[in-house]
A and B are shown apart, each in its own frame.
Chain A
Amino acid sequence: MSANRVYVTLDGNEAAALVAHQTNEVIAIYPITPASPMGEFADAWTQAGRRNLFGDVPQVIEMQSEAGAAGVVHGSLQAGALTTTFTASQGLLLMIPNMYKIAGELTPCVFHIATRTIATHALSIFGDHADAMAVRPTGWGMLFASSVQEAHDFALIAQAATLRARVPFLHCFDGFRTSHEVNKIAVLSVDDMKAMLDADLIQAFRDRALNPDRPVLRGTAQNPDVFFQSREACNPFYAAVPGIVQATFDRFAQLTGRAYRLFEYAGHPQAERVIVLMGSGTGAVQEAVEALTAQGEKVGAVIVRLYRPFDASAFVQALPPTVRSLAVLDRCKEPGAPAEPLCQDVLTALVDAGPQPMPRVIGGRYGLSSKEFTPAMVAAIFRELSLPHPKKRFTIGIHDDVTHLSLDWNPDELPEPPEVTRAVFYGLGSDGTVGANKNSVKIIGENTDLFAQGYFVYDSKKSGAMTVSHLRFGPRPIRSTYLIRKANFVACHQFQFLERVDMLDIAEPGATFLLNSPYSAEEVWDHLPMEVQRDIVQKRLRFFVVDGYRVAAESGLEGRFNTVMQTCFFALSGVLPRDEAIRHIKEGIKKSYGKRGEAIVQKNYAAVDASLAALQEVRVPQQITSTHRRVGWVEGPAPDFVQRVTAMMLAGKGDLLPVSAVPVDGTFPTGTAKYEKRSIALEIPIWDEQLCTQCGLCSMICPHAAIRSKAYTPDDLRDAPSDFPSKPCTGDLAGLRMTVQVAPDDCTGCGLCVSICPARSKEQAKRKAINMEPKREHLLQERQRFDFFTRLPETDRLRVKLDTVRGSQLLEPLFEFSGACAGCGETQYLKLLSQLFGDRAVIANATGCSSIYGGNLPTTPWSTNQAGRGPAWANSLFEDNAEFGLGIRMALDQQETIVRRLLHKLAVPIGEELVRGLLQGAQAHGEAEIAEQRRRIVELRRRLETLDDPDARILHRLADVLVRRSVWIVGGDGWAYDIGFGGVDHVLASGRDVNILVLDTEVYSNTGGQASKATPRAAVAKFAAGGKPIGKKDIAMIAMAYGNVYVAHLAAAANPAQMTRAFLEAESYRGPSLLIAYSHCIAHGIDMEKGIEHQKDAVQTGYWPLFRYDPRLAHAGQKAFRLDSGRPTRKFREFAQKEGRFAMLPGVNPAQAERLLELAQQDIDARWKLYEQLAGLEREAPQALEEVS
């Protein structure tokens, strides 16, 4: 056994990737949560030149999808390179065909899987075993790690075992729980890894590779005569796997002292009740078993390490002979099956090889989508096992009031041991709280004998998101795989959270409460809500305040108060002696920021030193003096569903909702974001009607539809608040009045509206027609005004010019208050879509940012108008969205066919003139015609109600389809350029009437900025860490090649009028349309408030030319391609130097930076030259058959 083990603190992804990068030669990757960081680590290490065990730098390649990655893995293995990949969930499903092949060909390989839920009624990024269980039949060995240490160890053990067994392995560990948990582990040395991998076996693997010097044929097509026998020929290899894995475990134990078994028993030696499970839930079970055994209960647990091949005899041997009942826990659901997979395997094993009489077996589901699984729940399961007639199938962790499968549990049962420091921190995303806490775990884990664990809970919103950090420190290894339930230290890093979040519920009596407060110890009490005061008094909390913002600002770290709060935590928690802690914090600062320059280090040092002086203990009064209560999550009238269900989720109490409260099929109401008053902005825009020119740009650019414009009649102001601002409309709307109004609780304070406003004061040029002002000074007034504004009638759609910015922006947005990043550059396009076509739109949304801010619960920004109409929205998958949207189109077309047939059939009783009008109006897209068609449908229904005819009833139900349906296929560039490109191409080629909107951020934004084929040359992105060497794919040219596809290249902020026209043209075109929309993004390394400037620069430098290609003009023999932006007036560098993604290039790749930037300019020049020529061409594009007909 190696002496002097090195301990480090890292998360499960890094732990697994460390081994994978060392033991492989080729790595094919594709981003997917929660496995993406493994690929990112591997890519970064390769970029940095880190060598593997064999002395070479592994090749890392990002593919267009997981299916592509699996293909590369298969090919690379066939050619003799040790190859791996990392994935999860849908990604693993996309690899299935190749997995069958790789296993069928007995090829050594390991995939590292951060297991994740598979999308069913809803997508979930969180962890369970649905993906791993879905690939059981592929013939791969399956090792399940249950902790960060095991994720590290099993990565190596799987690699060693696969080489000997020739059976490929999945190395699974629980997504988020293990993949993202930071824990202290003993790290394997290079010598350990070398000792575990047998060189002869590696050579044997290479000898089997395809080689023209000794050619073979592999991948034949076989017939009924031999296929079956061939399939059975592999049996000996599978039979040998358990023995090989146990031998590998044993060899590993000799090297490291960490011993594992195929099935590991823990608990009372004469246990009568035993739980069987695998994965991270093991931690909670082991803690419960220890506690209950100490109380004299005869209980135990069998932890499954090697799940496939399932060694029945080894399993039976692992059971204590005294066992009388077993509860088998599965972290997945297989509807319709007699039991879940592990339970079925256990039953089969017991029947085949078990003791007689057979122990009673019950099976339960737990932990789906990272649902909490705690020792208290384990105790409930053991209790169930004691019953004479336990539930044969059960669930734990939820309240099932429909099928009554769930077990009750007492959450206060089996508390955590007192020697563990349990600290919970509430922070705002990006305020540094999580980073500082990760650092604290590192400090303690790597500098002391204590063990440390960090787990972080993130928000479903991308802006104004709350993070909750759960940190444990203790003298023994920490395997508590659940959130802290009772904390002895609670820190609130954002004072405003106290107004909404019940954070002291988690504080145990006598705990310490640290508050980042702008108020001093003397002042703070009077600013606390009543509930907070009550908890502090009743629980006798020690209460401290520090003004983190002030201390940070005075130290030169404006807004970055994490160092301050971290210092105060160490000072108060007593985990380490104060001086020692300060020393370690400073060492950590030096380590983290040393290479960033001395100035940053010194500023942080100053903040540390100033923190202790600024930390004040509050003398807690014995009386609750506050008169104000915490603000509710849903204030005012709201639909029943929102009150009962949504409000609970918003309050963070969704776990308490019973099964009966949630929809059975994942169908939710729209229009719910407006009930979630997040009020996250510190400054909001205030309208100055005197200066306003009524251009509509502020409404157009607002990512959150929090700036609204309406035109209304003067009479509508009858009940207006006395100071409600309003001004007469100009131009074609003369006679009406108009108002620009902020939604003060929905604004994120991004400032884009002010940035784009063109109207300036004559006397003070910096003052515009809309100006950011402190929210607290305006909140009450603006709330009143917004309330009245929402009650004003919507602008008459027939009076405005839709093809103008001003006109379109007077229309009601049916996409509002999304949780997208503050200043997002995507949402303007969706909002415009909703304004122009929302009441007749069906949207297919690819997985990505837009599906997350569009459909991530608790609420959705997709909304309805007063008539109850609005976009119908659905997300299928990431890779299939174009096909999904096409399917929607086909169904709608089919319904229209039915309706037309029935109209013809019933023309006489309905009335021929009405029928003629209905048929003619079915494809109308003008607002007046649509309004007329809606009136006809009302009349049709009225007449149909008088007919006693089954066809009349069908027609009555389907008649709405007679209003032209607007089908939109929406997604990001990762979808359109990469994983979904095949589908996009096919749908464009179909000629069908769909509109594809690509929100092009030029990276995979939702998964954290990985390069896509839309990423431009010279941009630094994940998987292109040295700057992307290849230029961006010109997807517009590909689409235009078809001739009959409407194509437009847009940039909302650079030319909103062109954008508006393009939307209208695309939608009115009765064929496929492709809109490629430039979307500035947080992943560009820009100040999001300056997004408009960046878009303008992109257009003016020719980086993002604006154009439209309209096949209707081509059919007419005209110039179908129109360049809407002028010849570049500036160079690419001017644009590039303002964006971090390009500006960081000289720093990360000094050798190639200049050349890449030059080539990027050449890309622009060449493209522009080509487009200029295209603009001069008259094109004849024959019409598609459908258009002719």
Chain B
Amino acid sequence: MNLDLSTTYLGLKLRHPLMVAAGPMTEEPRLLPELEQAGAAAVVLPSLWEEQIEHYDVETLRMQHFGADSFGEALTYFPPVEDRRATPDWYLRKIDEAKARVSIPVIASLNGSTLGGWTRYAKQIENAGADALELNIYFLATDPDTTSEQIEERYLELVHSVRSATRLPLAVKIGPFFSSLPNMAKRLVRAGADGLVLFNRFLQPDILLESMEVAPNLALSDSKELRLPLRWIAILRDRLTASLAASTGAHTVEDVLKLLAAGADVVQLNSALLKHGAKHLSYLLDGMHRWLVEKEYQSVQQLIGSMSQANCPDPEQFERANYMKALTSFCSRYPRHV
């Protein structure tokens, strides 16, 4: 039987739904062929951080100026670098090199900090030859006077402006912390997103008890974290026509199949590959293939969305608060008079 694994993501035709998420695995263009050989259908390059570019610019400048013109013997402490760096050239070169090394789609990723920065870099990324662009957006509101409406408007304005600036297929990677995720998703698509990536995992600071210091921390995900994107993909699948990518908690063949069943067009892998290496891709691909053949699917498209909220046997399951449902289940096992 000829099993069709192909899927479409942001309008890009992919051989199958397994792709590599933005992360350390895609940092180095020279390592991308290994991912391609292991079976990756597409790769997302790590984000070009506007803040980082600005930080680099500001810090290099600060470094050049620090201690400069103070002491007659050492008017500077570093060789001049101005002539040799035109940021973000290094990132654009990376796209170029990635495209030269692999034939699968290369999706660039961008995290801007200013409106102008988002659009400017988006254009440059398009010109550098990326196949699509993933916008990595988050605003961590700490000011009690900042309202959720204001934050949401910033997201939308940003997506809209990038959409106006580039013709590239556009994905928006978001976090789960919106009061009404479906509403936000709908507005993002209306603003120009061709797809959503669910979800961004944020740096979670830790406290080091020994030294009483705060330390940045981001542990690799595990399968348990799958539930969050699973629920929302299942809910959003029926309400959006845009592409959906699952990007958290896919480690096993079962994880991948569940996310597809919920409605993900593609599954982005990162932690699993960091744990097990690029070869894990072929393991997942083989397992998915085997399962689909075993269950006599003819294409992966049959599976995609087959367990979305609308298509699953019990749509309420996705809507109930887990605590209530668990409690009810617990109680229902025993007679009330006990």
Contacts and interface: CB of A to CB of B under 8 A. Distances in A.
State yes or no: do A and B come from one complex: yes
B79 A467 contact: no
A597 B57 contact: yes
Given A1020-B78, A1025-B79, A596 B71 contact: no
A47 B79 contact: yes
A333 to B, nearest CB: 22
Nearest to B97: A1150
Interface stretch (A458-466, A810-818, A929-937): A458-466
Contacts of A821: 67
Contacts of B212: 760, 765
Contacts of A428: 70
B75 A1146 contact: no
A1008 B76 contact: yes
B57 A1083 contact: no
B83 interface: yes
Interface in A579-638: 592-593, 595-600
A1147 B73 contact: no
A459 B93 CA distance: 44
Interface in A993-1035: 1005-1009, 1020-1023, 1025
Nearest to B207: A765
B77 A459 contact: no
Interface in B38-81: 53-54, 56-61, 63, 65-81
Contacts of A852: 73
B276 interface: no
Nearest to A36: B73
Contact of A430 (B54, B57, B70, B73): B70
B81 A432 contact: no
Contacts of B72: 33-34, 125, 176, 180, 458
B79 A1140 contact: no
B333 interface: no
Contacts of B117: 598-599
A459 B77 CA distance: 17
B84 interface: yes
Contacts of B83: 48, 595
Interface stretch (A37-45, A94-102, A319-327, A490-498): A37-45
Interface string B80-116: 1111111101100100000000000000000000101
A408 B181 CA distance: 87
Interface in A1140-1154: 1140-1141, 1143-1144, 1146-1148, 1150, 1154
Contacts of A36: 73
B123 to A, nearest CB: 13
A1025 B81 CA distance: 8
Nearest to A430: B70
A596 B68 contact: no
| Majority secondary structure, A binding face | mixed
Contacts of B30: 1154
A1009 B69 contact: no
A1020 B74 CA distance: 16
B324 to A, nearest CB: 39
Given A595-B86, A1147-B90, A44 B79 contact: yes
A657 B11 CA distance: 83
A1055 B59 CA distance: 29
Contacts of B93: 1150
Contacts of A1085: 63, 66, 77-78
Nearest to A433: B69
Nearest to A821: B67
A1144 B81 contact: yes
Contacts, number: 147
A1008 B57 contact: no
Contact of A458 (B58, B70, B79, B90): B70
Given A595-B85, A1020-B79, A462 B70 contact: yes
Given A595-B86, A596-B57, A1083 B77 contact: yes
A506 interface: no
A77 B86 CA distance: 38
A435 interface: yes
Contact of B73 (A600, A765, A1008, A1150): A1008
B34 interface: no
Interface in A397-446: 428-430, 432-435
A898 interface: no
Contact of B90 (A37, A598, A1150): A1150
B222 interface: no
B28 interface: yes
A1140 B78 contact: yes
A1008 B70 contact: no
A600 B61 contact: yes
A599 B79 contact: no
Contacts of B82: 592, 595-596
A430 B63 contact: no
B74 A1009 contact: yes
A600 B58 contact: yes
Given A765-B212, A1140-B59, A1147 B81 contact: yes
Nearest to A428: B70
A1009 B78 CA distance: 6
Nearest to A43: B79
A1008 B114 contact: no
Nearest to A1024: B79
Best-buried of A33, A600, A1005, A1082 by chain B (most CB within 10 Å): A1082
Contacts of B76: 1008-1009
A599 B121 CA distance: 13
B67 to A, nearest CB: 4
A1140 B89 CA distance: 19
A435 B73 contact: no
Contacts of B80: 44
Given A595-B82, A596-B60, A1008-B76, A462 B71 contact: yes
A687 interface: no
B61 A1144 contact: no
Nearest to A434: B69
Contacts of B61: 593, 596, 600
B85 A1147 contact: yes
Interface in A701-728: none
B57 A467 contact: no
A333 B69 CA distance: 31
A600 B30 CA distance: 33
Nearest to B28: A1154
Best-buried of A434, A1021, A1144 by chain B (most CB within 10 Å): A1144
B205 to A, nearest CB: 14
A47 B76 CA distance: 18
A720 B65 CA distance: 45
Contacts of B81: 1025, 1144, 1147-1148
B82 to A, nearest CB: 6
A1083 B64 CA distance: 10
Contact of A429 (B60, B69, B77, B116): B69
Contacts of B86: 595
A138 B72 CA distance: 30
Contacts of B67: 429-430, 462, 821, 1082
Interface in A736-768: 760, 765
B332 to A, nearest CB: 48
Contacts of A1140: 59-60, 63, 78
A561 interface: no
A456 interface: yes
Given A40-B79, A44-B80, A47-B79, A1005 B71 contact: no
Given A597-B57, A1083-B78, A1144-B60, A48 B84 contact: yes
A1096 to B, nearest CB: 11
Q: Which 3 A-B pairs have the closest CB atoms?
A: A429-B70, A1008-B74, A434-B69
Given A33-B72, A595-B82, 5 more contacts: A430-B68, A430-B70, A1020-B78, A1022-B78, A1154-B28
15 contacts: A33-B73, A40-B79, A429-B69, A430-B69, A430-B70, A462-B70, A592-B82, A596-B58, A596-B82, A1020-B78, A1025-B79, A1082-B67, A1144-B60, A1144-B78, A1150-B93
